[in-house]
Structure formats: structure tokens, C-alpha cells
Amino acid sequence: MEVRQCDFCRMPFQSFGGKVCKDCLQQFDEDFMKIKDYLYDNEGAGIEEVSEETGVSKKTIMYLLKEERLLVGDKDSDGGGFLTCELCKKPIRTGRMCYSCKKELTMELQQSISVVKAPKPKKEETEEVSIKGVAKLQVK
């Protein structure tokens, strides 16, 4: 456990690995429910409208988008360029990276982990053992 500064409210808190304090997480859950209820009745509403009508800040809406709790646009759109992949800059609907960049990054991480975990090959050590009058054998 370590003391960290909340990425959202900037207050110090005891972290068990998270980047946001307990109070902000609870507020995100409440704000998410407000947004969800509003979008259920007003499908296709923009961020400005959602923020004004629900009282949820644009900063919170952006956080929820980047944490993949909300999506921009419908399944056939690219999000209108509102969010872009942090690596390749392609338009995305949610999160921080597009599917292609996530997949590539995951593969690179898996490869580097397997290199670290792979045991180093041992040098073959041999020694000669002779048995009286029979032959010399090599033992690995």
C-alpha cells in the first residue's frame, strides 16, 4: 500500500494499486448511472448536452470514455474523431488506443515476458568416467 495523489481530484489517498481515490470512484459510479439513464432516453446526445442536462462535468465524461465505460457514436461509426488513439492517432470510440495498437502492444509485452521467463540454456558439462578395462563414458 502506498500514498498516492488521486489522478482526478489531486488529493492524497492510500492506494492498493488504483490511480483514483475511493470518493472519486464512488462519484464516477453515480455520474455513470446519471449519464446512462439520460442516454437511454436521449440516444445520440453530445457531450455538451449530456453534461448540461445531467450536471456531470465534461472532465468526468472524458474520464469515463477513456476508461472504456462509455462509447462515442454507434457501432458503425468511428466516434467522429472525438477520441483518437494515443499511439497512431486513428479515431476511436472509447479508451486510449485502437484495437490494432492494443493487439500489437499486447504481443510485444507477451514476447518480452517470455524472454524474461525463458530459462537460460545450461552449458553442457561433461566429465569422463572410466570403468576399469571396459570403456570411457561421458556423463552430462
**Is pLDDT of 55 > 90?**
yes
Strand partners, 15: 2
pLDDT single digits (tens) 59-98: 999 899 888 888 887 665 655 667 889 999 998 888 999 9
Rounded to an integer, the average pLDDT of 121-129 is 57
The dihedrals phi and psi of 83, each to the nearest 5 degrees, come to: -110, 145
Q: What are phi and psi of 2, to 5 degrees?
A: -135, 160
The pLDDT of residue 97 is 93
**Cβ count near 115 (within 10 Å):** 8
**Identity of residue 102:** K
